[in-house]
Structure 1
Amino acid sequence: MKPIWIVDDDQSIRFVLEKALLREQLPSRSFTNARDVIAALDEDKAPQVLVSDIRMPGGSGLDLLDKVKARYPGLPVIIMTAYSDLDSAVSAFQGGAFEYLPKPFDLSKAVELIRRAVEESQREEVGDETMAEAPEMLGQAPAMQDVFRAIGRLSQSNVTVMITGESGSGKELVARALHKHSPRANGPFVAINTAAIPKDLLESELFGHERGAFTGAQTMRRGRFEQADGGTLFLDEIGDMPFDLQTRLLRVLSDGHFYRVGGHSAVKTNVRVIAATHQNLEQRVKEGVFREDLFHRLNVIRLRLPALRERREDIPMLTRHFLQQSARQLGVEPKRISDAALGWIGQFAFPGNVRQLENMCHWLTVMAPAQVIEPKDLPPEVAVLEAPSAPPVLATSVAEPPVWVQGQADVAAPQKVPDTPALPAVLEGSWEQGLEADATALLATDRTDVWDTLTARFESRLIQAALAATRGRRIDAAQKLGIGRNTITRKIQELGLE
């Protein structure tokens, strides 16, 4: 593993961190100023993690952060600063810092933070390697590997391919990959969505028209079949093609000849056709809205693309890819996503498939307040629609949002629970059993943060209930809970309840 670089002009800070990292078997290297770090970056490889003080002679930690991020955008940088220096903390996060460490710090917490940064750095490295290996389409799930193998086998053939799959699953990406790896790669790739063009215009779009063929046809126009000559024509949503146009399409697929609208001379074209649909074409044939002979002509090779919910193991990789892609498009620092947030996203059904995940990542890039995306930053539909069974809150109101949407909706004030002997029985029969069920479900997964996750949910709801009961007065809420004022303030900050 690459070393962790420590930058601080205070010798005691460097010494303490070096010894602590050594005990954890984490290699380290120390610097006294930013100039030496820049020089080392010119000579050596980047570190695994950079931990830097914010105020040093010869250059500030924020300046160093800017220079390092310009060279290594994925390198986690931890900025050490004074607890009361709010402006510095804000500037650090805006500059892309992984986290800031207030001084004086608890050594064990500092080491824990550095370990999290190391894990993030290693994930980034794996993600970068994967991006380089598979820039067109991403997927490690067995279902996607089958698709990749099929693309490999079909790429050298001119056979017609029918791609089926739900909307948003990436059918056009498959079509582009088939074209790119085929002998026709140097020819054009032309795509048309037959469901998006009005029936009266679709014929002209596909086959072109002659001058004067209809009102407004002032010049001859080449259609998509001519535009794709020598290449590939992708007909998306072929199941929605009007019935009368299906006959003309069948003729082109049979002998490669067609007539422009208003034309009298046959046009010859050499096109490989790839069609796609989210509909059941066999059923459309039975209903009499799709020609059976055209179905058989298109259905030479059928390639089914799995829905995203059928390859959930690809969701973390795709999420990180789309976050990086969205950041490049917007010209901002790519946001990172915590394992806990990925866990919530992985449970979502994604009716819109990969396209919906891509749109979600665009939303998170713009709307998530921090550089690291946590569960509370996710859009409401993820937490509300697909959250696992969780214990209800202590209040008797059924209208209150459940535990797992904390941070996604305003929390209603809990109704007062009568102080009766029956209360323990009510609690035992509801939230405690729900908590046990939720814990059992989480423990059955590969997650290693079950304690922290459930503790955070419990503490969050308990503090929210206390604040609601005291109309937001923290001191009174702390007294009712039996904790100190500093404790409730710290918990509110840690849980993001500000």
Structure 2
Amino acid sequence: MAQAKSERRARGALARVLVVDDEADIRELVDLTLSRMGLAADCAGTVAEAREFLARESYQLCLTDMRLPDGEGLELVRLIGEQYSETPVAVITAFGSTENAVAALKAGAFDYLAKPVALDQLRTLIKSAIDLPVASAAEGAQRSEALQLLGDSRAMSTVREIIAKLARSQAPVYISGESGCGKELAARLIHEQSNRSQAPFVPVNCGAIPENLMESEFFGYRKGAFTGAEQDREGFFQAAGGGTLFLDEVADLPLSMQVKLLRAIQEKRVRKVGATVEEAVDVRLICATHQDLKACVEAGTFRQDLYYRLNVIELRMPPLRERAEDIPQLARACLDRLAHQASALPLTPAAETALCRYTFPGNVRELENILERATALCSGSEIDEGDLQLSPADDGHPDAGSEGRGGESLDTYLDRLERQAIQEAVVQTQGNRTAAARLLGITFRSLRYRMARLGIE
């Protein structure tokens, strides 16, 4: 049977969509829309009928209601994910049923529509789904040669496998991890391996936008909306149309903006500042932060409803200290890249050992900075351990932390280290706090908060 399906696809048969809904008018609406788009449809009113269709035919999309007379749409989502993985499945949910939509996306659904079904959103979803690539993860990786997550550790192999799966979905993704561990690179890989790869990837640093400009930056504005608005301008949502919007350091968004972002995600529409009507937007959202987003929710600085909408699927990027076996490979790749700017310098065995023992609080970004500095300052033909200038307090020895703590409580000890790091960065950048934040690998807003908390003038 599987061979027969493959042969039908190979002969270029008309793309087919399975529509599953117990409401005849919904089935008719979707069938008519598909027909006008040059697609064929099979319609089922129950889970049992849908199973029969799936056993007989190959589909490029399944669109199913969440509530059916003999079961739940989630049954079909899971069945298709397990047995017909090349077929994306989208769900139709009742108006305002956020929990159902999130549950479906977590179960593997490609996307969702809310009743009453809007034709523009239906057509956008169909076009996006039918264009889904059916290539293997290896082929997808080849298309993204310029973007690499290096490392043969088990942790990185798992990350690459998850990215390949996420690329076939439209569900929002939350990438967690410490500063410098490759969150934006992972987001770009998800985009590049997805059907949205030909559309824009728009990265936004949420911590770098002044609060009074956020709404106009995200949603755009009309000419004359405010002083200085001399012409219409698109926002991040419009700029990422058809592609991916990556919100980095999303925990830095103020609560007032979180409300507007939540509405944009739920309605898939935005209204420009100064406009009277909303416009539909088609973007996939990926967000990231080095902060513990759940802790932010508990602290009241991040909305719980927005957290659940963004954190449909979580991808955790491991810190470098958890994959120390990847450090030699990462170091060689970094040195090869630096060789295009200066003479290539290899690492001595002692230097490589020292790097593998180091804890890298700044992760891959810190590794790159260390090697760039060592390459520039090294006077010999090889980079030795001394050229790396690693901090003895953080060189990976198990007793290093306890020796430096000197009887202080953990909180006091960590505050002292944080205060010292911030003060050194501010001095090194001659008082430029924006540059100091960049040097520390955090956002300006985060630096300002930390300085206030620690009482640093």
Q: TM-score range by the shorter chain?
A: 0.5 to 0.7
Q: Secondary structure at the match of 2:276?
A: coil
Residue 385 of structure 1: CA displacement?
Answer: 3.7
Is the counterpart of residue 386 in structure 1 residue 398 in structure 2? no
Task: Note the C-alpha offset of 1:284.
Answer: 1.3
The residue aligned with 2:238 is: 226
CA deviations on 1:221-253 (whole Å, 9 max, x unpaired) are: 111100000100000011111101111111111
The question of whether the paired residues in 2 share the 8 Å contact of 1:344 and 1:383 is answered with no
Structure 2 matches for 1:47-446, cutoff 5 A? 136-328=148-340, 330=341, 332-379=342-389, 381-383=390-392, 385-386=394-395, 388=397
Tell me how far 1:278 sits from its aligned partner: 1.3
Counterpart code for 2:395: E
Deviation string 1:300-349 (CA, Å, 9 cap, x unpaired) is 10111101111111111111111111222x2x222211121011111111
Kindly provide the amino acid, as one letter, of the partner of residue 359 in structure 1. Answer: N
| Structure 2 counterpart of 1:106 | none
Distance 1:373 1:161 in 2: 40
Q: Which 4+ stretches in 1 moved above 4 angstroms?
A: 132-135, 387-390
Output the CA distance in 1 between the equivalents of 2:174 and 2:398. Answer: 40
Q: Which amino acid aligns with 1:269?
A: V
CA distance in 1, matches of 2:397, 2:146: 32
Q: Is the 2:371–2:388 Cα contact (8 Å) retained in structure 1?
A: no
Structure 1 vs Structure 2 CA RMSD: 2.1
Point out where structure 2 has 5 or more consecutive residues left out of the alignment.
1-141, 400-457
Match in the other structure for 1:399: none
Mark the structure with the bigger radius of gyration: 1
Aligned to 1:418: none
SS of 1:191 mapped into structure 2: strand
Distance 1:325 1:220 in 2: 42
CA displacement, residues 74-100 of structure 1 (integer Å, 9 cap, x when unaligned): xxxxxxxxxxxxxxxxxxxxxxxxxxx
AA at the equivalent of 2:233: R
SS for the counterpart of 1:373 is: coil
The DSSP-based 3-state class of the residue aligned with 1:311 is helix
Q: CA deviation digits over 1:10-61, x for unaligned, max 9?
A: xxxxxxxxxxxxxxxxxxxxxxxxxxxxxxxxxxxxxxxxxxxxxxxxxxxx
Q: Aligned residue for 2:450?
A: none
Q: How many residues align?
A: 257
- With a CA cutoff of 8 Å and minimum separation of 6, indicate the structure with the bigger relative contact order: 2
Letter in 1 for 2:240: A
In 2, the alpha carbon distance for the partners of 1:190 and 1:135 equals: 16
The 8 Å contact of residues 149 and 156 in structure 2, kept in 1 or not, is answered as no
State the identity %.
44
Mark the CA change 1:133 to 1:235 in structure 2 (over 3 Å): closer, same or farther.
closer
Displacement, 1:261? 1.4
In 1: Cα distance, 2:277 partner to 2:260 partner: 15
> Residue 206 of structure 1: CA displacement?
1.0
Q: Deviations over 1:383-418 (max 9, x none)?
A: 56416499xxxxxxxxxxxxxxxxxxxxxxxxxxxx
What letter matches 1:276 in structure 2?
A: A
Distance 1:172 1:299 in 2: 16
- Partners of 2:339 and 2:213 lie apart in 1 by 38
User: What is the one-letter code of the residue matched to 1:272?
Assistant: R
- For 1:346, the aligned partner's letter is C
Question: Structure 1 CA distance, aligned partners of 2:269 and 2:146?
Answer: 38
Runs of at least 5 residues in structure 1 that lack an aligned partner in the other structure: 1-129, 391-498
Q: Distance in 1 between matches of 2:147 and 2:262?
A: 35
Say if 1:309 and 1:349, in contact at 8 Å, map to a contact too.
Answer: yes
- The corresponding residue for 1:468 is none
Q: What TM-score do the two structures reach when normalised by structure 2?
A: 0.54
SS at match of 2:234: coil
Note if contact 1:327-1:365 (Cα within 8 Å) is conserved in structure 2. Answer: no
**1:373 partner letter:** I
Distance change (3 Å), C-alpha of 1:135 and 1:295? closer
3-state SS, counterpart of residue 309 of structure 1:
helix
Paired residue type of 1:366: A
Q: Does the C-alpha gap of structure 1 residues 313 and 229 become closer, same or farther in structure 2, counting only changes over 3 Å?
A: same
The match for 1:62 is none
**Offset at 1:133?**
7.7
Deviations 1:147-180 (A, max 9, x none): 1110011111111100000111110000000000
Cα distance between partner residues in 2 of 1:133 and 1:286: 40
SS at match of 2:287: strand
Distance 2:394 2:287 in 1: 33
| Equivalent residue, structure 1, for 2:121 | none
TM (norm. structure 1) is 0.50
DSSP-derived class of the 1:274 partner: strand
- Which position in structure 1 is the counterpart of 2:411? none
Contact 2:221 2:273 in 1 (8 A): yes
Q: How has the CA–CA distance of structure 1 residues 350 and 195 changed in structure 2, closer, same or farther, with 3 Å as cutoff? A: same
**Partner Cα distance (2:147, 2:243) in 1:** 22
Give the residue type in structure 2 aligned to 1:335. Answer: L
Q: CA deviation at 1:203?
A: 1.8
